[in-house]
Amino acid sequence: MDNHQTNALDTMNLTDNSQGTSWQLIGLSSALADLTIDIDKSLSIGRSYSNDLVFASAHLSRLHAKIKHINDKQYVQDLGSSTGTFMNGER
């Protein structure tokens, strides 16, 4: 997987780093420009404080999506969000 973006925000990318040893979630919008998170395990994203990554945005569902880290590969799972989760421009 090369890119992950949520439809409503279009503010994050999930990319493989240059060494290929880990993945990074990188902020793209001006509000998240300084945000880079190394992904080495599965994590959840949404508005609820029960998530690993919490974003206070009405565009995200409480339990929006999950990035699954399985055997050094990343998978994106939409958790039934109302706005959907997009990867490479596809829902």
Q: Which two tokens stand for residue 74?
A: 């990343």
The string of pLDDT tens digits covering residues 14-30 is 555 555 556 777 776 77
Residue type present at position 62: R
Q: Give the span between the Cα atoms of 58 and 71, in whole angstroms.
A: 33
The string of pLDDT tens digits covering residues 33-87 is 788 888 888 899 999 999 998 988 887 899 999 988 788 778 889 999 988 887 6
pTM for this structure? Answer: 0.67
